[in-house]
Structure 1
Amino acid sequence: METSSTLKSSSSSSSVLFDELPRAICWRMFEHYQWEGFWYYPPHLEAAMAARSHFKARDDDIILASCPKTGTTWLKALIPSIINPTGGGEEEDDPLVTNHPNALMPSLEIKIYSGNPNPDLSGMLSPRLFRTHLPYSILPETIQKSGCKIVYIARDPKDAFVSLWHLMNANAAAGQEPHSIGDTFDSFCKGVHTFGPFHDHVLGYWNESLKRPEKILFLKYEEMKKDTRGQVKKLASYLGKPFVNEEEVDEILWRCSLERLKNLEVNKSGIDPWDGLAYKTYFRLGNVGDWKNCLTPEMKDRLDDITREKFQGSGLDL
């Protein structure tokens, strides 16, 4: 891959020099750069630029998009299971038994374009399933303009932050001091975090979903938890794979349940080779309102105020 100092942005004929971009340290150790309004870990930024230049979407592609820790792993299990059902077959026929959900929906910026700026994806069978944490404005133009479908999952930012904080501490190196919730919360509120600002990320997809509901299905994690059956049926219909009967729904809900995924051997050990995170740390509680166990009333009010201000007039409520 080109060195970071000579990467070229597809939106400009001039080179984007990392040294010329705003820079910040996230989580005490990770250098991030701001590009076109959002913050990126350097390898993700290099891959994002490469994807925007080279990715060619197909009309039947399915893209799962989200900010980190908003329910993405659940959707990484649900979408492949809906698109390629096992038909009630034996458990060993289920790809989830032998694959972490990450493998079933590879990431554009963490895996596919990481280390190879122009991979050959022509051999992938349709429909191709991808995921991304990239903001809508950064997506390759062929994704925005093709007939491919985007599923976006959003979550209460308080729970999203707490889940992210737990994930980072769970993957800290041996002997490393845990990340302070106060410092990391301040950074999150300021929007300086991987793929942040959170609220701008959510609004980008929300506003586009209002313009083109046939293009983007906007899901809320809280609604997924409250009415799982109804939301999964809506997801299946949007993907063009409506359930034939309630037994099919039951099968999918069981196969993709948090408790089952947590207890599958493939998810109990090992580390994702692309993001360096332990597989088991993708599955914690999945509860709505867990922020109450971590945030002070002052922290809660601060983030709620930011959310209220950012989303004012948008029609969006998280």
Structure 2
Amino acid sequence: MENAKALLNHSSHSLKRLLDQLPKQCFWDDLDLHQWEGFWYRPAHLEAATVIRSHFEARDDDVILASHIKAGTNWLKALCFSIMLRKNGAGNDEEEQDPLVNIIPFLCIKTLEVHVYEPNPSRNLLGMPSPRVFHTHLPYSALPDSIKNSKCKIVYITRNPKDTLTSMWHFFNTRRTPEQGIYPFEKAFESFCDGVHPFGPFFDHGLEYWKQSSNMPHKILFLKYEDLKSDPKGELKRLASFLGKPFVDEDENIIDKLLWRCSLERLKNLEVNNIGLEPTSGIPNSAFLRCGVVGDWKNYFTTEMKERLDQITLMKFEGSGLEFET
């Protein structure tokens, strides 16, 4: 216990020294963000990120899910959670045996900097059975060397930046008080374009993983939210195969069942996703699964906003091969 307290005290002092040296901005007039190695973090997440880099020891059979915030994280968690539960190519057929009935997708796979190391920077994961599956919002450059250099696999999901911003705007508004009111979309747009938001900039975040996946396709699978929506069966098969759980000579009904169980339409209607608060953030569980529609940005963007963000996107991704439909 004393050693744990000493570690926590040391971590707290180290974090304060680090924060004092870093650029600082206020996100949405509400949250302090600090820029570390080119990306913006809330203090608690930055502390967790430094601990992860120093202490997390990846195993070769680990699976790391990665994403920018509001880019398809919860859908990816539900899909991977269900895939990894399959045994010998079989899936549970009874709904009451489906854990997603009783746990929100955000919690079915723990996020390292939120659920693991933020509440306990001295967390020891050595006793956790394999294969372990974690999630992170950290950019690739912030990942520990043990993840980069081991044989563990990374699955990254991204989304059209206009829908990402729209989803982010709705999500962060759920934590604002009635006195604060709804944050103006125009100001949220400017913040997004400037890259000043948790784990931003969005473009640099995606580009890092895209380049690494191009160099190491055996290690990093790069997914687009829009592809999952347009070709769910094809993308699910690709994901399952990458995770070492391929659908081989199986009835298509099993694939259809898994897709239905993890569908946003079904998840949004489950009681567990409509009551209570997420324990680490205090945000309503219902906020984690809102719309999921491709092109929802059209309900909020002006023509000028669309043209400006499209130009930024083209400029940021120029020559990389990474593209989104405009």
TM-score under structure 1 length normalisation:
0.95
Are 1:289 and 2:295 counterparts? yes
* Aligned partner (choices 113, 126, 132) of residue 128 of structure 1: 132
**Equivalent residue for 1:6?**
13
| Aligned mates of 2:283, 2:149 — CA distance in 1 | 33
Q: Secondary structure at the match of 1:158?
A: helix
The match for 1:155 among 153, 159, 169 is 159
Aligned length: 312
SS of 1:116's equivalent? coil
Aligned residue identity for 1:292: K
CA contact (8 A) 2:106 2:288 kept: no
Give distance in 1, aligned partners of 2:122 and 2:22.
24
| Displacement after TM superposition at 1:169 (Å) | 1.4
Sequence identity percentage = 55
Residues 1:254 and 2:260 are matched in the alignment: yes
Judge conservation of contact 1:104–1:129 (CA < 8 Å) in 2.
no
Aligned to 2:274: 268
Letter in 1 for 2:126: S
SS in 2 for 1:7: helix
State the alpha-carbon separation in 1 of the partners of residues 286 and 119 from structure 2. 25
Aligned to 2:4: none
Q: Is 1:230 paired with 2:219?
A: no
- SS of residue matched to 2:301: coil
Q: Which residue of 1 aligns with 2:173?
A: 169
- What secondary structure, in the 3-state scheme, does the structure 2 residue paired with 1:17 have? helix
Q: Is the 8 A contact 1:26 1:192 kept in 2?
A: yes
3-state DSSP of counterpart to 1:270: coil
Q: Report what 2:306 is aligned to.
A: 300
- For each residue in 1:21-53, what CA deviation from the matched residue of structure 2 results, as whole angstroms up to 9, or x when unmatched? 000000111000000000001110011111111
Runs of 5+ consecutive residues of structure 2 not aligned to the other structure? 1-7
CA distance in 1, matches of 2:47, 2:153: 24
Q: Offset at 1:157?
A: 0.4
Mapping of 1:80-229 within 5 angstroms?
80-85=81-86, 87-229=91-233
Aligned CA RMSD, in angstroms, stands at 1.5
Q: What CA distance in whole angstroms lies between the structure 1 residues aligned with 2:169 and 2:107?
A: 23
Residues 92, 98 of structure 2: 8 Å contact kept: no
Q: Aligned with 1:125: secondary structure?
A: coil
CA distance in 2, matches of 1:49, 1:307: 29
How far apart, CA to CA, are the structure 1 residues paired with 2:159 and 2:127? 35
Describe the SS at the equivalent of 2:177. coil
Ranges of 4+ aligned residues in structure 1 off by more than 3 Å: 2-5
| Whole-angstrom distance in 2 between the partners of 1:146 and 1:125 | 17
Task: Answer yes or no: is the 8 Å Cα contact 1:82–1:236 preserved in 2.
Answer: yes
In the alignment, the residues of structure 1 paired with residue 78 and residue 127 of structure 2 have an alpha-carbon distance, to the nearest angstrom, of: 23
Which residue is 2:57 aligned to?
56
**Higher mean C-alpha deviation, range 142-151 or range 110-119:** 110-119
Gaps of 5+ in 1: 9-14
Query: SS of 1:153's equivalent?
Result: strand
Offset of 1:5 from its aligned partner? 6.4
TM-superposed deviation, 1:7: 2.0
Name the TM-score, length of structure 2 as normaliser.
0.92
CA distance in 2, matches of 1:49, 1:305: 34
Contact preservation (8 Å) 1:5, 1:17? no
Q: Deviations over 1:145-168 (max 9, x none)?
A: 111110000111010000000111
| Matching residue's letter, 1:46 | E
How far apart, in 1, do the equivalents of 2:277 and 2:143 lie?
A: 27
Q: Is the 8 A contact 1:4 1:17 kept in 2?
A: no
